[in-house]
Amino acid sequence: MEVSVLNCGTMRPRGARFLVPRMSASPCLCLLIEEADRLILVDSGLGTMDMEDPTGRLGFSNVLLNAERDPGLTALRQLRGRGLHPEQVTDIICTHLDRDHAGGLPDFPDARVHVLRPEHDHALDPPSRRERERYRRCHFAHGPRWEVHEGTSGEDWFGFNCIRNIEGLPSEVVLVPLPGHTLGHCGVAVRYGQGWLFHCGDSYYARAELAVGQKAPAGVRAFRSVAHLDRSCALRQLERIKGLLAAHGSEVATIASHDQAEYVKRFGRAP
């Protein structure tokens, strides 16, 4: 089994280079898992149709988020560029269903889409205006093949409740509920080699947030208050991730969807 990091969309929020320099160019980091003759994605980033009409499909917020119109960044195009076929994507595991994570779902209509129950229910029937803006109906209009996961399996992953041994997924893939950013937000841990890669979704935005005993940059703190549905809950998850790295940093590496530093580390340049 091979695991790769893809950037499936870049947002360049207007004014961020002055207010939140660490988020001036925000990638959408996804995972590609290659197992035998099939492919699994963790998040799907922005999709082909989003690139054609970003404001129409991503909503009013895109006036500020300013998604870059580059079809070459879509998971669909990147897979083809690697000589892989979109039909090989059997499963997509979504950390959550915000526009910049679920936008690529229509490009893979036959894939099973794994989400936690609260995320599925809030995305398909948003109870608040705020959630109606973040979840885009156009991303689900094709009728995804939902695999909705209830609760946890009662098992433990480094002290986190988790969902293991999911039917149809490799045993090396573990879902870890991390509510806060959204109510059904989750992390996805993948065992490869001698360790784990833990995709934390939007649990943090900049590597600086993981520094023990230090405050996150002011701009990032301000952005949290806007982005997190339940800020206090999200911050509790962040503290748990810090604790995980303090205790098991030699076994677990983390990645977050929009971390510029992670992008530079992986690709050797700024997004």
CATH number for position 51: 3.60.15.10
More confident call, 114 vs 193: 114
- Model pLDDT, residue 19: 67
Sheet of 89-93: strand order equals: 2-11, 26-35, 38-42, 89-93, 112-116, 145-149
User: Is the predicted pLDDT of residue 187 greater than 70, yes or no?
Assistant: yes
50-87 residue pLDDT tens = 999 998 999 988 988 999 999 999 999 999 999 999 99
**Confidence band (pLDDT; 50, 70, 90) for 135?**
very high
Mean pLDDT of 116-143: 97
Exposure string for 56-86, b = 16+ CB within 10 A, e = fewer: ebbbebbeebbbbeeeebbbbbbbeeeeeeb
Q: How many helices (DSSP H) and strands (DSSP E) are in the chain? A: 11, 12
- Model pLDDT, residue 199: 99
Place of tokens 């879902």: 175
102 close to 44: Cβ distance less than 8 angstroms: yes
**Confidence band (pLDDT; 50, 70, 90) for 105?**
very high
Domain that holds residue 96: 2-267
As a whole number, the mean pLDDT across the chain is 95
Domain count, the chain: 1
pTM: 0.96
CA distance 166 to 26: 31
